[in-house]
Amino acid sequence: LNLWIPTGAAITLQRLATFHGVTKRQILEDLLLKEDTLVTKNMTQEQFDAYVFSGIRKSKQDSSEI
């Protein structure tokens, strides 16, 4: 993953990492996993499968465009 984020978000990311004594990478990993858990916790199995497989299909499309 290589991307640019707005300055305000970059400063916030650094501030959170410093506050928690972890890397910026760890902050991002934790935020993504927590959000994924929140999004999926009340899904039916059918909704969950659609959610999971939509990410896989999108990922394959993105890599084929490169």
CB atoms under 10 Å from CB of 13, counted, come to 16
Q: Given this model, what pLDDT does residue 5 score?
A: 94
CA pair distance 6, 9, nearest whole angstrom: 5
Amino acid identity, position 28? L
CB atoms within 10 A of CB 58: 10
**One pLDDT digit (tens) per residue for the chain, 66 residues:** 788 999 999 999 999 999 999 999 999 999 999 999 999 999 999 999 999 988 776 655 555 554
